[in-house]
Chain A
Amino acid sequence: MKIKKVASLVLAASLTVSGLAACNNGDKSNGSTKDGVTTIEFWAAPNPTQQVYWKEVAEEFTKENPDIKVNVSPMKESPTSEAGIQSAIAGGSAPTMSENINRGFAAQLSESKALLPLDELEGWDEIKKNRNMEDTMKGWEFADGHQYVLPIYSNAMLFGWRLDVLKELGYNEPPKTYSEMLEVAKKLKEKHPDKYVWAKPDLADPTAWKRWFDFFMLYNAASDGNKFVEGTDFTGDKKAGEKVLGFVEELQKADALMTRQSKDPFESGLGIFTDIGPWTISYWAEKFPEMKLNETYALALPPVPDGMDTENVKTFADTKGLVVYASATKEQQKAASEFIKWVYSNPENDLKWLEKTNLPPARDDLTTNDTFKSFFENNPALQPYAAAVPNAIPPMDNSKYNDIQTFIGQHAFNPVVKGEKDPKAAWKDMQEAIEGALK
Chain B
Amino acid sequence: MRKNQGWLGWLFASPYLLYAIIFFLIPLVWSLFLSVTDWNLISPTYSFVGLENYAAALKSQGVQSAFFVTFKFMAVFVPLVIAFSIIVALIVQGLPRFKGLFLIGFFLPYLASGVVSSLIVKGILSYNSPLNEFLRGTFGLDIDWLGSPFAALFVVALIIAWKFTGYYALILTSGFESISKDVYEAAMIDGVTPWQRFWKITLPLLYPALFTVLILSIGVTFGIFTEVYQLTGGGPNFATNTWQMEIFTKAFSNLQAGYASAIAIIASIVTFVAIYIIRKLLELWGKRNGWT
Contact = CB atoms under 8 A, between A and B. Distances in A.
Interface of A: 5, 9-10, 13-14, 16-17, 79-80, 82-83, 86, 89-90, 108-109, 111-114, 199, 201, 204-208, 258-263, 265, 268, 270, 399-400, 402-403
Contacts of A113: 43-44
Contacts of B257: 90
19 contacts: A9-B17, A9-B21, A13-B22, A14-B26, A79-B229, A83-B252, A89-B41, A108-B40, A109-B42, A112-B43, A113-B43, A113-B44, A259-B147, A261-B126, A261-B127, A265-B127, A270-B128, A399-B255, A402-B254
Given A206-B233, A207-B233, 10 more contacts: A9-B10, A10-B21, A13-B17, A82-B252, A82-B253, A201-B147, A260-B144, A261-B146, A263-B123, A263-B126
Interface in B42-63: 42-44
A268 B127 CA distance: 12
Contact of A204 (B42, B43, B129, B147): B147
A232 B26 CA distance: 37
Q: Size band of the B side of the interface?
A: 35 or more
Q: Which 5 A-B pairs have the closest CB atoms?
A: A112-B43, A262-B127, A83-B252, A90-B41, A260-B127
Given A13-B17, A17-B22, A113-B43, A262 B253 contact: no
Interface SS of chain B: helix, strand, loop or mixed? loop
Interface string B214-232: 0000000000000001000
B71 interface: no
B122 interface: yes
Nearest to A113: B44
Interface string B247-265: 0100011110100000000
Contacts of B286: none
Nearest to A6: B17
A268 B145 CA distance: 20
Interface in B100-139: 122-123, 125-129
Nearest to A94: B42
A111 B43 contact: yes
A13 B18 contact: yes
A354 B127 CA distance: 35
Contacts of B146: 201, 260-261
Interface of B: 6, 10, 14, 17-18, 21-22, 25-26, 40-44, 122-123, 125-129, 144-147, 229, 233, 235-236, 248, 252-255, 257
A113 B17 CA distance: 37
B26 A17 contact: yes
A265 B22 contact: no
Contact of B236 (A109, A204, A262): A204
Contacts of A82: 252-253
Contacts of A204: 147, 235-236
A47 B255 CA distance: 24
A112 B41 CA distance: 9
B275 to A, nearest CB: 25
A207 B40 CA distance: 21
Contact of B125 (A206, A259, A261, A270): A261
A205 B127 contact: no
Nearest to B122: A261
Contacts of B26: 14, 17
A69 to B, nearest CB: 27
A259 B146 CA distance: 10
Contacts of A14: 21, 26
Nearest to B61: A410
Contact of B147 (A5, A16, A260): A260
Contacts of A261: 122, 125-127, 145-147
Contact of A268 (B25, B128, B229, B255): B128
Most chain B beta-carbon contacts within 10 A, residue among A13, A16, A262: A13
A354 to B, nearest CB: 31
Contact of B253 (A90, A112, A208, A259): A208
A296 B264 CA distance: 50
A288 B40 CA distance: 44
B40 A112 contact: yes
Nearest to A207: B233
B56 to A, nearest CB: 12
Contact of A13 (B21, B44, B125, B233): B21
Most chain B beta-carbon contacts within 10 A, residue among A259, A265, A268, A402: A402
Nearest to B9: A5
A111 B42 CA distance: 10
B142 to A, nearest CB: 9
A41 to B, nearest CB: 18
B128 A86 contact: no
Most chain A beta-carbon contacts within 10 A, residue among B21, B26, B233, B252: B252
Nearest to B143: A260
A112 B127 contact: no
A79 B125 CA distance: 23
Contacts of A265: 127-128
A263 B129 contact: yes
A13 B40 CA distance: 26
A17 B235 CA distance: 40
Contacts of A399: 255
A80 B21 CA distance: 28
Nearest to B226: A79
